[in-house]
Every structure is written in C-alpha cells, then in structure tokens.
Amino acid sequence: MKSAQQGFTLIELLIVVAIIGILATFAIPAYSDYVAKAKVGAAIAEISPGKTGYEVMVNEGNAASISPAGIGLQTSTPNCTTIATTQAATGDGTISCVIKDNIAAAGSVVWSRSTAGVWTCKYTGADKYASKGCPKGTL
C-alpha cells in the first residue's frame, strides 16, 4: 500500500516564507513612497481651487481681505492640517497647506501669486515626493 503525502514539509514552508520575506523587502518601501506621493498630490488638489477664488477677490478689489473661507477653502481638510493665505493690496500672495498624517511627505505645499497674476507651486518636503507641477523648492 502506498501512503499519500499529507501536507507540506518543513523545508517547503521555509522556502515559501523566505520568498514572501524577499518580496516584502521591496514592496513595502515602494508602497510607502507611493502613498506619500499620493498624499502630496491630494494636498495640491485640495488647495488648487482656491486660486480661482483668490483671483476673483483680487479682480473685485478685495485683495486685502482674502482668507481661506473667502476663497472657498476650509482651514483644515483630510490632507491639510492648516490652510492659510497671505496677501498684499497689490494682489500678490500665497495659499499654503501643511500636509498631515504622513511622516514621509511631511512639509507643505504653497501656491504663490505674483503681482502679474502668475501662479507657481512649491513643495517643501523630500525631493522624491514632489511632482512636476509642484517641484521641490524653498519659500
């Protein structure tokens, strides 16, 4: 009589565990980087609509009274702990977001408006999480 194999041998199980461990050493850091970059992108997306409200305020001559609520933004969102604005009577100013809930992507996203009406974006965190539309820079 032949007996059928019942289950896996210890060596087979160890090989599977080793393969999973090797895959995890590459997958976890890659996933963490992906999540951090997505957090920066989400923060940019949350404050970008404020540019339109800012332009409306400047065109109506209300540049001195611009606030996050005044340009249609909340002061806190799922991706930003604080959204703040600065402005001058000439129309230049900033809309900024301090990124929350991600240590890797810690930093802020800042849209700056020149007196000529040109908007530029800067990200103050790590280089690898910056996007093409909002590169790493100093403020």
**Tens-digit pLDDT profile for the chain (139 aa)?**
566 667 889 999 999 999 999 999 999 999 999 999 999 999 999 999 999 988 888 888 877 678 888 888 998 889 998 888 888 777 888 999 999 988 888 899 999 999 888 999 999 998 999 988 899 876 5
* pLDDT at residue 105 in the model: 87
* pLDDT at residue 84 in the model: 86
* pLDDT at residue 133 in the model: 86
- 68, 85 in Cβ contact below 8 A? yes
* pLDDT at residue 64 in the model: 67
* pLDDT at residue 110 in the model: 94
Other Cβ atoms within 10 Å of 53 Cβ, number: 19
First to last CA, the chain: 80
Instruction: Give the burial string for 72-102 (b: 16+ CB within 10 Å, else e).
Output: ebeeebebbeebbbebeeebbbbbbbbbbeb
* pLDDT at residue 70 in the model: 86
